[in-house]
Amino acid sequence: MKKILKWVLIAVTVVCGAVVYFQPAGMEWHGQKTEMAQVVKVVDGDTFEIQYLGKIEKVRLIGIDTPEAHANAKAVKDAARTGADIKVIVEQGNDAKNFVKQFVPGGMQVRMEVDVNDRDKYGRLLAYLFFEDGRMINEEIVKAGYANLMTYPPNVRYKERFLSAYRFARENKKGLWKEKR
């Protein structure tokens, strides 16, 4: 019985090692599907249009929220919630959008990773986007100070990373947290 158990364990180890070593392109060991996509345009600081699986899709970045770049219902709601003037909210939204446009130019190849829920109530893909060097775009926008945190369970895989980036931006007065001149 011990010999059989030993050989079963060896076989399982070999198979698991082979799966990790020979995993197909576009797959993550975490069990999360990833795909390559091309950025078509930045819609605002936390929303992109991408070329994905042969069509243009809107992608909402998971875990972050940038100010609105237009005076819309959400901008009014954010102004009421924060006590900020709606003009300030829109100005910050445009600052965030301009930062992201320079940071993630159209035509750039990115790796897209989904979490538990892959679409929001508006039909947009929900994703973490990564540069080819492995840096997460969502996290980098927060770290540069152009986004607040916005996590909705069950899509919370990287919430601790976002919290750390948010603290860094606030403590170092980055982006929207710069002191007024």
Question: For residue 148, which of 64, 62, 76 has the smallest C-alpha distance?
Answer: 64
Widest Cα–Cα separation across the chain: 76
What pLDDT, in 10s, does the model give residues 57-94? 999 999 999 999 999 999 999 899 889 999 999 999 99
Rg value, the chain, Cα: 20
What pLDDT, in 10s, does the model give residues 89-133? 999 999 999 999 999 999 999 999 999 999 999 999 999 999 999
Residue 181 clears pLDDT 80, i.e. is over it: no
pLDDT at 26: 40
For residues 31, 35, 41 and 42, what is the CA-based torsion angle, rounded to 10 degrees? 10
From first CA to last CA, the distance across the chain in angstroms is 76
Q: What is the mean pLDDT of the chain?
A: 86
What pLDDT, in 10s, does the model give residues 31-50? 467 899 999 999 999 999 99
Question: For residue 42, which of 66, 76, 75 has the smallest C-alpha distance?
Answer: 66
169: which 2 tokens? 């931006």
With bands split at pLDDT 50, 70 and 90, how would you rate the model's confidence at 7?
A: low
Q: Is the pTM of this model over 0.85?
A: no
7: which 2 tokens? 């050989």
Asked if the bond preceding 153 is cis, omega within 30° of 0, the reply is no
Task: Label the pairing between strands 63-65 and 34-44.
Answer: unpaired
**More confidently predicted of 42 and 7:** 42
Ordered by where they begin, the domains of the chain are 25-177 (2.40.50.90)
